[in-house]
Structure 1
Amino acid sequence: METKVFGEELKRLGFDFFTGVPCSFLKDLINYAINECDYVGAANEGDAVAIASGAYLGGRKAVVLMQNSGLTNAVSPLTSLNYTFKLPVLGFVSLRGEAGVADEPQHELMGQITTQMLDLMQVKWAYLADEWEEAQIQLQQADNYIAQNQTFFFVVKKGTFNKEALQQSTHVFTHQPSIINRPTDTESPRLTRFQVLDTINRLKDASSIQLATTGFTGRELYEVEDSAQNLYMVGSMGCISSLGLGVSLAQPSKKVIAIDGDGALLMRMGNLATNGQYGPSNMLHVVLDNQCHDSTGGQDTVSATIDFAAIAAGCGYRHVEVVYTTEQLEAAITLWQQQPQLTFIYIPTIKGAKDNLSRPSIKPYEVKERLVKYING
């Protein structure tokens, strides 16, 4: 099938934001996306799903591309982000290990269970036809599912797309020198999570979008103020900065604040590199580090041995702040608002949550719909 013709039909239907992880079966469609559309190369397939979901929140119709071995990396966001929030993405997953087709041994089992996994996750899917007329009909059907807030995946067999050469990239990836500000006075008592969230919320304006990671962080932000500008992540641990990246790229006029935790960041730390490469200036990534998994009983993370600020700087964040007090936090956020650049703020916090902490009474998909209306209203 003519890759360019297929890609142009995707664009005609509004799908012009692509993200994913390469696969040889999909290389020509990926090359088309890089050549002709907005494409974000993700560190892993779960990050790609979250990036695409963020782009959808920002008003873009997004496509995610992956090898079927990487479908396993995408299970968490597909089941707890896309399903729970009714966040639709259009997916293409290769069928490595297809029965009767010679392939590498590591693909044998996934070739047998790819479509079963999609069924188990209640993801609508179809084998992509290799004839253009039938494929065009399938794309329209897939677009109808997306319009109903349902994720849809095409399973792509070997040889479906013809050759599409990768053009010379105009996106120059170079490491930008990073500034790390560390206070000399580190004796201040650690802040509570609630104090940090209250400070962030007080400084928001009409263009701010606040995305809170799963667990106590989202629940406490809800108690600080339930706002149409907020999203309270449930599940999808580690995906908050990927979601923030997608929103930031789709809505460059908005101020996107991704509020993360040490355990969540450790789970998907590879996305720091993706954030650094694409570097949206309208994104602020805030990490609250209490050195434990607070909402599951306070078990230790390994963050006590990690310099998150140095890692963020090494991954290409333009500005990095280590803060200990509300005054330092206010100054760091104000600087980002006045001089936008991809910024990382690291804050050590104490363990524990607010007493009698409630849960959002609004359903996740209602939070999504409210936020989409706010962003695009």
Structure 2
Amino acid sequence: MLNTQQFGDELKKLGFDFYSGVPCSFLKYLINYAINECDYIMATNEGDAVAIAAGACLGGKKPVVLMQNSGLTNATSPLTSLNYSFKLPVLGFVSLRGEEGLNDEPQHELMGQITTEMLSIMEVEWEYLSPDMEEAKKQLERANQYFEQNRSFFFVVKKGTFKAVVLNDQSLSEYSNRKKILKSKKDTLPSRTKALETIIDQKDDHSVFLATTGKTGRELFEINDFEGNLYMVGSMGCASSMGLGLAMARPEKKVIVIDGDGALLMRMGALPTNAYYRPDNLLHILLDNNTHDSTGGQATISHNIDFVENAASVGYPEAIYAHSAEELDELTKGWRESGGLTFIHLRIDKGSPEKLGRPTIKPHQVKERLMTFINNH
């Protein structure tokens, strides 16, 4: 078995000190180490954990993700369309529940057979983590070499690999909303273009804009292709989790996440995580047109959701309804002055400009440009 404290310290020596994940009994002692010794973000699901780690990587961290192999299925979307496309590496530890010959729960049987095959199909390099410390150190060096080449690497962890680490008392805070402004008048329904122009007009050398998957990113590229922009592709619903990771990695930056109703509905579990860690430098804006606009205009169920109430109920310090682009402008200017994690909901009109193009620079080039911008300002 590995001395978990020593193994974690070896990870630290290589710069891996930012963790996010979802618990698994096979990984509990490494999780305990991470909580005791490092920055650890408790994600509500594995896909969010990967997106949080990707955001931290964007901010210059070397992140680690921890998950059960059943959760690897949840993480496939960001691993294949976010980390792969943007060349944002993560170091992963995934348990091997359902290993052949192991008397395990029936729900792990199939995943035990296909875990390593899934990693290979996703072009994620992997190795079984050795229980021998000297060999494990060599494995960490190899993993780090892949990471430095912008390639993700996963360790597959068998039962009984880690020695016990006692979890320190966790002092959990209790947070609540302090400012909630609900809808009180008729919506003006500005176009997405108008809303994006309002948001991006306030850019400066300390601002980073993460635009969600689909036409939001495409329109933002055409409106103002700013070095501080990131245009999400795939990984639907992961924008705010990525923003959380970046905001925590780079607290001196202003991180503005521009979300969509379909995307947010897909991963609403990100809201309580964002609210709990509540970085002061994160602004979460929802542009809601009640439509999956990028796929033909099919309706979402956003008309039946009070997003401001939802954000307030899970502890966003400020959750505010904007009725117009003018109100959005005032609110974003106010946030720039006062800070604090804030959620703004603006309903917008359906549709987008005719012959809307796509970004002409590749995702990994967008990432490289953005990281240069972040580090130079």
Q: TM tier, shorter chain?
A: over 0.9
Q: Name the counterpart of 1:111.
A: 112
What is the SS of the residue equivalent to 1:191? coil
Q: Name the counterpart of 1:179.
A: 179
What is the SS of the residue equivalent to 2:85? helix
Contact 2:50 2:79 in 1 (8 A): yes
TM-score using structure 2 length: 0.98
- The one-letter code sitting in structure 2 at the alignment partner of 1:141 is R
Cα separation, 2, equivalents of 1:347 and 1:321: 9
Offset from partner CA, 1:218-241 (integer Å, 9 cap, x none): 000001111110000000000000
What is the SS of the residue equivalent to 2:208? strand
- Displacement of 1:161 in angstroms is 0.3
Cα separation, 2, equivalents of 1:69 and 1:182: 39
Offset from partner CA, 1:193-214 (integer Å, 9 cap, x none): 1101100000122110000001
- Displacement of 1:329 in angstroms is 0.6
- Displacement of 1:321 in angstroms is 1.3
Cα separation, 2, equivalents of 1:26 and 1:323: 44
Cα separation, 1, equivalents of 2:365 and 2:227: 10
Offset from partner CA, 1:23-68 (integer Å, 9 cap, x none): 0000000000000000000010000000000000001100000000
- The one-letter code sitting in structure 2 at the alignment partner of 1:301 is T
- Displacement of 1:184 in angstroms is 3.1
What is the SS of the residue equivalent to 2:126? strand
- The one-letter code sitting in structure 2 at the alignment partner of 1:360 is P
Q: Name the counterpart of 2:326.
A: 327
- The one-letter code sitting in structure 1 at the alignment partner of 2:210 is L
TM-score using structure 1 length: 0.98
- Displacement of 1:185 in angstroms is 2.9
Contact 2:176 2:314 in 1 (8 A): no
- The one-letter code sitting in structure 1 at the alignment partner of 2:181 is N
Q: Name the counterpart of 1:35.
A: 36
Instruction: Give the CA RMSD over aligned residues.
Output: 0.8
What is the SS of the residue equivalent to 2:230? strand
Cα separation, 1, equivalents of 2:87 and 2:367: 8
Offset from partner CA, 1:247-282 (integer Å, 9 cap, x none): 000000000001100000000000001001101110
Matched, 1:11 2:12: yes
What is the SS of the residue equivalent to 2:17? strand
What is the SS of the residue equivalent to 1:336? helix
Contact 2:176 2:312 in 1 (8 A): no
Cα separation, 1, equivalents of 2:205 and 2:314: 30
Cα separation, 1, equivalents of 2:288 and 2:325: 15
- Displacement of 1:155 in angstroms is 0.2
Q: Name the counterpart of 2:265.
A: 266
Cα separation, 2, equivalents of 1:33 and 1:109: 29
What is the SS of the residue equivalent to 1:114? helix
Q: Name the counterpart of 1:212.
A: 211
Offset from partner CA, 1:273-294 (integer Å, 9 cap, x none): 1001101110000001100100
Matched, 1:352 2:351: yes
- Displacement of 1:183 in angstroms is 5.2
- The one-letter code sitting in structure 1 at the alignment partner of 2:185 is D
List gaps (5 residues or longer) in structure 2. Answer: none
Offset from partner CA, 1:315-372 (integer Å, 9 cap, x none): 1110011112122111111111111111000000111011221111000000001011
- The one-letter code sitting in structure 2 at the alignment partner of 1:274 is T
- Greater Cα offset, 355-364 or 43-52: 355-364
- Displacement of 1:178 in angstroms is 3.0
Q: How does 1:62-211 map to 2 (within 5 A)?
A: 62-170=63-171, 172-182=172-182, 184-186=184-186, 188-211=187-210
- Displacement of 1:109 in angstroms is 0.5
What is the SS of the residue equivalent to 1:209? strand
Cα separation, 1, equivalents of 2:241 and 2:337: 24
What is the SS of the residue equivalent to 1:27? helix
- The one-letter code sitting in structure 2 at the alignment partner of 1:358 is G
Contact 1:233 1:240 in 2 (8 A): yes
What is the number of equivalent residue pairs in this alignment?
A: 375
Q: Name the counterpart of 2:59.
A: 58
Contact 2:176 2:313 in 1 (8 A): no
Cα separation, 2, equivalents of 1:110 and 1:182: 45
- Greater Cα offset, 176-185 or 75-84: 176-185
What is the SS of the residue equivalent to 1:252? coil
Contact 1:191 1:324 in 2 (8 A): no
Offset from partner CA, 1:112-134 (integer Å, 9 cap, x none): 00001001111100000000000
Contact 2:308 2:321 in 1 (8 A): yes
Cα separation, 1, equivalents of 2:142 and 2:108: 29
| Structure 1 moving runs of 4+ over 4 Å | none
Cα separation, 2, equivalents of 1:372 and 1:49: 18
Cα separation, 2, equivalents of 1:367 and 1:207: 17
- The one-letter code sitting in structure 1 at the alignment partner of 2:175 is H
Contact 2:90 2:147 in 1 (8 A): yes
Contact 2:182 2:308 in 1 (8 A): no
What is the SS of the residue equivalent to 1:15? coil
Cα separation, 1, equivalents of 2:341 and 2:127: 39
Cα separation, 1, equivalents of 2:144 and 2:85: 20
Q: Name the CA shift for 1:331/1:159 in 2 (closer, same or farther; >3 Å).
A: same
- Displacement of 1:189 in angstroms is 2.4
Cα separation, 2, equivalents of 1:58 and 1:376: 8
Q: Name the counterpart of 2:242.
A: 243
Q: Name the counterpart of 1:21.
A: 22
- Displacement of 1:150 in angstroms is 0.2
